[in-house]
Each structure stands twice: as structure tokens, then as C-alpha cells.
A and B are shown apart, each in its own frame.
Chain A
Amino acid sequence: AQKVTQAQTEISVVEKEDVTLDCVYETRDTTYYLFWYKQPPSGELVFLIRRNSFDEQNEISGRYSWNFQKSTSSFNFTITASQVVDSAVYFCALRTGGYQKVTFGTGTKLQVIP
């Protein structure tokens, strides 16, 4: 069975602060994919990043960075210098290699206060 845990239900930060969203996953498969999605108030899920299990390189994209650590089964997401437009619900998700269905975490609601 696969499982994704996002322990942080809601986070509030003041604009320009850095914030890290935690994601811990469970799977017995050696091949898997991890994802982060953003869901703004409009409701659409916006794809942010995909990482496969064989690539532990951290990634940076502008103000966003992701830290993938297989040793702790974590795939954390950091927003640097947060902005009001970052306010959304963020979902971490997992798909194992031969299994096309995606398991979503429960989401972390981020509120950035101006």
C-alpha cells in the first residue's frame, strides 16, 4: 500500500518569510514518482514538480525548491520569500512505477499574510 502524509494542515506566514511544507511517503516499490500540486482558491490543480525515485537531486525553480531524501522518505517543498499569490492548498502525491493511480496527501493550506 502507498501512503502520503502531510502533517501540516494549515500554515500562516507573513509575506517575504520562507516556508517549508513537509511530505512523508510510504511505499514498498523501488520505482515511484513524487509530485507537488498547488490548488489556488479557483480550484484547479496546478502541477509544480515531478521527481522519480532514482533522482535524489534537489531542485530549485525560482523561489521554489524541493528536497528529496529517500533515507527519510521525505519530499519537502520550500517557498523562499513568500508572496500573497502563494496562498493556496498544496498537495504532495505519490505514484508507484507500474501503478497508474496517484495517492494524494491531505494537503497543506498555506496563507501568506501581507
Chain B
Amino acid sequence: SAVISQKPSRDICQRGTSLTIQCQVDSQVTMMFWYRQQPGQSLTLIATANQGSEATYESGFVIDKFPISRPNLTFSTLTVSNMSPEDSSIYLCSALGLAGSPDIQYFGAGTRLSVL
């Protein structure tokens, strides 16, 4: 399995500010994804982080609100911009394409974000 580290694990932020979440995988992976999980809900895919190019966003999510970077095959960041209380959620990083387990998607422990 892969070790996926997310930082910060939790944060409390003020309305209107931005937070950048970091995701580090302990080995190279083909694909990385960012998900949002609102309280008591299932996971919703925000975007696929593409190495060296712009992320691919799902319907309802835009780059201005959730800019994503992926400079290499093991690291990605998600920024939640101009936050409002509606952005309070768990944000999860995920990786797919690990050598030895190419079809299994692994997840980080998530970042619990509360916006006041």
C-alpha cells in the first residue's frame, strides 16, 4: 500500500481567507485526485491533479476556487480560496497507480477544515 501524508490534518480558518493543503505520496503514482467530504456525506471528486499541467475539474468546481498544483509524481497541493462556512468539509487526497497495486486508489487521512 501507499503512504499518503496530508498537511495540515485540521484547521480552523476565517471567512475570506485561503488554505493550501499539501499531499505527499511515498512513491511515484500515476494519478492523484482531490475529494471533498461534507459532514455525514459521501466523497465528491473535486479534480484530477495532472502532473505538469492544469488539473481536470469536475462539474461544479472551478480553478479559481480550488487551484491545484502537481509539480511531480509524488506531490500535490489543493488551495481552498476565499473560504466561506460552506467550505467546511474534510478534504482528501488520493493516489492511483502505485507499482504493485495499479488498480487500487489509496487515500490520505484527510484535512478537516472548519470555516468561521
Assembly CA distance A47 to B2 (angstroms): 11
The number of inter-chain residue pairs (CB within 8 angstroms) is 43
Query: Is A44 a contact of B107 with CB atoms below 8 Å?
Result: yes
Which secondary structure characterizes the binding site on chain B? strand
In the complex, how many angstroms separate the beta carbon of A91 from the nearest chain B beta carbon? 7
Whether B103 lies near A106 (C-beta < 8 A) is no
Q: What's the Cα separation between A60 and B109 when bound, in Å? A: 26
Stretch at the interface among A62-70, A75-83, A96-104: A96-104
Over the window 2-33 of chain A, the binary record of Cβ atoms lying under 8 Å from chain B Cβ atoms (1 yes, 0 no) is: 00000000000000000000000000000001
CB distance from B41 to the nearest CB of A (A): 7
Measured CB to CB, the closest approach of chain B to A102, in angstroms, equals 6
Is B66 on the interface with A (CB-CB < 8 A)? Answer: no
Closest approach, in angstroms, between the C-beta of B94 and any C-beta of chain A? Answer: 8
- Comparing B19-27, B42-50, B70-78, B80-88, the segment that makes contact with chain A is B42-50
Question: Quick one: which of A42, A47, A91 contacts B109, CB cutoff 8 A?
Answer: A42
Contact of B110 among A35, A43, A105 (CB under 8 A): A43
- Interface magnitude class on chain A: 10 to 19
Residues 36-53 of chain A, each 1 if its beta carbon lies under 8 Å from chain B, else 0: 010000111101001010
A44 touches B48 (CB 8 A): no
A91 touches B43 (CB 8 A): yes
Residues of A within 8 A of B33 (CB): 101
Nearest CB in chain B: distance from A101 CB, A: 6
Name the contact of A35 in the complex, choosing from B1, B48, B105, B108 (C-beta under 8 A): B105
Interface on B for A, CB 8 Å cutoff? 1, 31, 33, 41-43, 45, 48, 90, 92, 96, 103-110, 112
Closest 3 pairs (CB-CB, A-B):
A45-B107, A44-B109, A43-B110
In the complex, 13 of the A-B residue pairs with CB atoms within 8 angstroms, ordered by the A residue number, are A37-B107, A43-B112, A44-B107, A45-B92, A47-B104, A47-B105, A50-B103, A50-B104, A95-B103, A102-B45, A104-B42, A105-B42, A106-B42
Known: A44-B108, A102-B45. 10 other contacts (CB 8 A): A37-B107, A43-B90, A43-B110, A43-B112, A47-B106, A50-B104, A101-B33, A102-B105, A106-B42, A107-B42
